[in-house]
Amino acid sequence: MGMAIQVPCYTAAEVRGFDNPRLRFEVIRGELLVTPAPGTLHQRMVVALLRALQDYVERHGIGEALVAPFEVEFADDTAVQPDVLVILADRADRLEAERLYGAPSLVVEVVSYSSKRVDRLQKRELYLTEGVGEYWVVDPGLRRVERWIAGAVSPELSTNRLEWCPDTSVPPLDINLHELFDRAHRGLGKG
């Protein structure tokens, strides 16, 4: 008879107490996820995406965009820090000073070497099961965006343009991906 191995099960409250500025601590269904601080290319992508999304939602008065580290808590054992998230007006009542409770309207994760598996599998499953309307996995290395929409079995892959229309009463946001990736790669040498 073998012995069962006890795997630690973390809560969002416990993970909030971890403190290392070079690491990001998240928990999905009790499983602790620890990723190193992102590099320059990752952060440039995050800034470019945040600017585009924040300008768009502010211009049309339909919500706001936030950037990590900012916590989204789905349950006592599940709290993550998406790279960029958009909260449209219909979900604004879930936003508090410390965190968002429940699903954002849009989540964007920019993959890096250490986060590819988590972003493409665990976080995708979490976001789409918990009611996130749309999830973008941005890969600066491949210069493409995997766009997951709730209910889809596969992503839409975009390398040229990305259009987002969260509210039919306003024109869609049209992102030129070539320009976005070029801006992020600029100044990185081999990048």
pTM attached to this predicted model: 0.90
89-122: per-residue pLDDT in tens?
Answer: 999 999 999 999 999 999 999 998 766 777 777 8
Residue with tokens 């349950």: 75
Distances (CA, A) of 172 to 94, 157, 166, 168, 169: 25, 18, 7, 8, 9
**How high is the pLDDT of residue 191?**
40
Instruction: State the fold for domain 38-185.
Output: tt1808, chain A (3.90.1570)
Confidence check: pLDDT of 190 > 50: no
Q: Is the pLDDT of residue 43 over 80?
A: yes
